[in-house]
Structure 1
Amino acid sequence: MNCQGRVSPGTAVVLLHGSHGQYKTLLQNSTEWHCVPNISANKMAPFSCSSDQPTALQEKFTTWQCDSVMSQGKGRGWMCCPKGWKRFQKSCYFLSPDKMSWVESEQNCTGMGSHLAVINSREEQVFLFGQIKQPSRGENFYIGLRASSVDQWQWVDKTPYNVSATFWRKGKPSDHNDENCVVMYRDSELPNNWNNVRCLIYHRICEAAAVTV
């Protein structure tokens, strides 16, 4: 990670957590660092230490939290999420304090360089279940699953809908024509807490790929 200098106004800030290898002394002296900005399409983007083009998420946020991770075949590196987001494996998640309709929720996530959460495994489901069970959270959170018609479920990122990898509450999904959006319920038995509902006003979970440097 080729981070240079101390924090200055208007720069991308990276909060590094961990004290491994060559970064140990640096991290003992400062917890906030910035990377030399890339200039791409006349936009400032963090993480010039990465050779990849900046993601939409990188262009939207300037303050980041990074954890030291072991990268296969590359030794130790950093995996970063915007400050205030939660990381699990290779994804970052934002749990909203406010409520919106499903369409507004997806637009809000997209505007932050992410999308409504797409759940691909039991481990991911259990992690998110634990997040919404925290006392400070709201009750019901939209995820990125919606039906164009009864039982025609589709993920926002076009991931194929696999009924064997779903976490519906008992008796769900219902076959009501007007219950085409999906929320995670806080008060349910682990891990099954999906419920199809009318597309009204709920909290939301946004997801984006974590940035690796």
Structure 2
Amino acid sequence: MVQERQPQGGEKRVCWFLKLWSIAVISIIVLSVCFIVSCVVTYHFASDKSNKRLSELQIYHSNLTCFSEGTRVTEKVWGCCPSTWKSFGSSCYFISTEFQVWSTCEQKCVEMGAHLVVINTEAEQNFIVQQLNESFSYFLGLSDPQGNNNWQWIDHTPFEKNVRFWHQNEPNFSAEQCASVVFWKSGGWGWNDVFCDTKRNSICEMKKIYL
């Protein structure tokens, strides 16, 4: 009778090492597949979101102008605005020359997929005023509905935490419940509280589309 050969200690260690190595390789493969699937899903989600936004904008705007804004991994990133709008940062701006009351100005912006402008930084304010005519004032997306000095941005940006560029001694009258940006020789461009039912120009703002 041939006696069965028992595995030696070294062989046992090799087998155990091979098992561990196999488990590690399988784990890496599974994690890699999960990562790739996650990336694909994320890409398609972002792509679908951009396509949906593009479809919405095309309802209001026949032409878009896109600008190269660097790269994301290996792909170029393009920021797009309607062709007649101005591009700055992550937003697009439209300077309306129609004289309307504040509520109508906001409605006109909404009809174009936007809202009255919300100013978040000094750089944004400086860019915007460069596009304006010093002879006119322009409604902002800022109002005080109750006339109690509780100013609110149209997109719910916290007013107290945001920048403010009021002209000196403004706002100064509780019945003037809307804000405009206007050029005064004594102080340059700044904000002023005005009656909401007066007719003025306005500034619309929308987020860029990124492709």
Q: Aligned partner of 2:166: which letter?
A: W
Q: Aligned partner of 2:67: which letter?
A: D
Which of 180, 198, 204 lines up with 1:183 in the alignment? 180
Answer yes or no: is the 8 Å Cα contact 1:69–1:77 preserved in 2: yes
Deviation at 1:185, TM superposition (A): 0.3
Residue 162 of structure 1 corresponds to 160
Which structure 1 segments of 5+ residues have no match?
1-48
- The 2-side partners of 1:197 and 1:182 are apart by 6
Q: Describe the superposition over 1:13-69 as per-residue Cα deviations: whole angstroms up to 9, x where unpaired.
A: xxxxxxxxxxxxxxxxxxxxxxxxxxxxxxxxxxxx943242243432120111111
1:209 aligns with 2:207: yes
Residue 141 of structure 2 corresponds to 144
CA RMSD of aligned residues (A): 2.1
- The 2-side partners of 1:138 and 1:70 are apart by 37
- The 2-side partners of 1:210 and 1:76 are apart by 15
Structure 2-normalised TM-score?
Answer: 0.69
- The 2-side partners of 1:187 and 1:66 are apart by 35
Corresponding pairs, count: 160
- The 1-side partners of 2:125 and 2:144 are apart by 20
- The 2-side partners of 1:210 and 1:139 are apart by 27
Deviation at 1:187, TM superposition (A): 3.5
- The 1-side partners of 2:161 and 2:208 are apart by 27
In structure 2, relative to structure 1, the CA distance for the partners of 1:169 and 1:64 (3 Å cut) is same
- The 2-side partners of 1:153 and 1:183 are apart by 13
Q: Aligned partner of 1:142: which letter?
A: F
Deviation at 1:178, TM superposition (A): 1.5
Answer yes or no: is the 8 Å Cα contact 2:109–2:116 preserved in 1: yes
Matches for 1:93-112 after TM superposition, within 5 Å: 93-112=93-112
Matches for 1:127-142 after TM superposition, within 5 Å: 127-133=127-133, 139-142=136-139
Matches for 1:66-81 after TM superposition, within 5 Å: 66-73=66-73, 75-81=75-81
The runs of 4+ residues in structure 1 deviating greater than 6 Å are: none
Q: Describe the superposition over 1:96-123 as per-residue Cα deviations: whole angstroms up to 9, x where unpaired.
A: 0111000000011001100000111111
Q: Whose radius of gyration is greater, 1 or 2?
A: 2
- The 1-side partners of 2:71 and 2:114 are apart by 23
Higher helix share: 2
Task: Return 104-113 or 157-166, whichever deviates more.
Answer: 157-166
1:171 aligns with 2:169: yes
Answer yes or no: is the 8 Å Cα contact 2:120–2:162 preserved in 1: no
In structure 2, relative to structure 1, the CA distance for the partners of 1:74 and 1:131 (3 Å cut) is farther
- The 1-side partners of 2:165 and 2:98 are apart by 24
In structure 2, relative to structure 1, the CA distance for the partners of 1:58 and 1:159 (3 Å cut) is farther
Structure 1-normalised TM-score?
Answer: 0.69
Identical-residue share of aligned pairs (%)? 32
